[in-house]
Structure 1
């Protein structure tokens, strides 16, 4: 796949790296593109660096791993480029951000979909730490379970594959409303655990 990463910091950079290693083409964007080019030069031709606009228009999938307060501007500034695309939303509102209370009250997944209209939004990689993703991808310790939630089944299926390609184990939790269970203060937030334990934390039944 061709994947744009808006916000190639700690989490976005780590996940994007694993995708390049899995054979995907990834365009990373950051506020410091020159520094990012140096950090990614070992990945070869599968990785490129550009602006947020370039990342939004690059492929059929976009990962957003910016501060949550940036989502409204991303949705506004890149509205046309993001239309119909699968957007993996890994951003989390924090108490200091103006929209945090409204987002958490509404449910972050549903609130994000309002900020990014016309996208096929999936909450993914929002509840795990970059260090845990890296350790899982490198086979250090247990395979990390990543909760996934979305309203578009085909988009969720794509997210599931990309979680696996990042060296982790996906757990489909439900629709965007169900993503509340792994937002901040939810039982799945930063659990950084394996599939069985995460399923138990979220009260999900084992698959038949």
Structure 2
């Protein structure tokens, strides 16, 4: 895969260093000297931003959020390129979003490009040496583009977590703002979420399941799973017993209809 970075800062270095081991990489920068310096450190090529857009099948947008939209709008990006947006427009004073839906703004600026939101939930220091299996959510509208970015996530030893279309990218940006605000106060966002097997209540969202009997309402999924088959087994037994009683009653009924044998005189 050929990858071009739009930017030569810390995020570009952290991610491109991994990818340069398996892919062809060009560091594209607004400062040719800094781009060449970074390329020399990681063993890749260097060029301008425009040269990187021509070089890469996949482009990493690693510019400051405040200049990202204007930068991509000013480039002649070939149609069909995949553009990874890792930006976060966060107000550093109160850790809220200074600009909501950055990924969608970028997509509107370059509608002929497949934008995928990814890598925005961790700082460059994490991407230098990410924990094995770290989940990396990504959002995009083009399935092929999402798959290719997922491969680049896997190349880091991480786990791609498809999180829906690009319209959900704003949720990743809001999550980043929330997490950063908690981290800077010493909080641990990993403690905010339960494990997957405890993530849902009695009914999974979008998958309603009616209980077998009214008295089962309120039972947890494990109890309902056990009670349901037991109820069905009891119902089958009751049906057989009722059928047996009916047969016996019918036999008595027919025997009563028959004439009694004549008594000898």
- Please give the range of the TM-score, normalised by the shorter of the 2 chains: 0.7 to 0.9
- Contact 1:6–1:30 (Cα < 8 Å) also in 2: yes
Which region of structure 1 is more displaced relative to structure 2, 24-33 or 151-160?
24-33
User: What does the per-residue CA deviation read over 1:22-53, in whole Å, with 9 as the maximum and x for residues that have no partner?
Assistant: x1011102233323433432433xx1011001
Long gaps (5+) in structure 2: 205-265
More RCO (CA 8 Å, sep 6+): 1
Who is 1:162 aligned against?
A: 152
- Contact 1:71–1:115 (Cα < 8 Å) also in 2: no
Closer, same or farther in 2 for the Cα pair 1:69/1:35, shift >3 Å?
closer
2:117 pairs with 115, 123, 129, which one? 123
Closer, same or farther in 2 for the Cα pair 1:70/1:95, shift >3 Å?
same
Aligned partner of residue 156 in structure 1, secondary structure: helix
TM-score by length of 1: 0.77
Q: Which runs of 4+ in 1 moved over 4 A?
A: 185-194, 197-200
Query: Radius of gyration: which is bigger?
Result: 2
- Contact 1:149–1:172 (Cα < 8 Å) also in 2: yes
- Contact 1:75–1:116 (Cα < 8 Å) also in 2: yes
Closer, same or farther in 2 for the Cα pair 1:66/1:158, shift >3 Å?
same
Which region of structure 1 is more displaced relative to structure 2, 58-67 or 181-190?
181-190
- Contact 2:27–2:36 (Cα < 8 Å) also in 1: no
Who is 2:18 aligned against?
A: 18
Aligned partner of residue 174 in structure 1, secondary structure: coil
- Contact 1:146–1:171 (Cα < 8 Å) also in 2: yes
TM-score by length of 2: 0.62
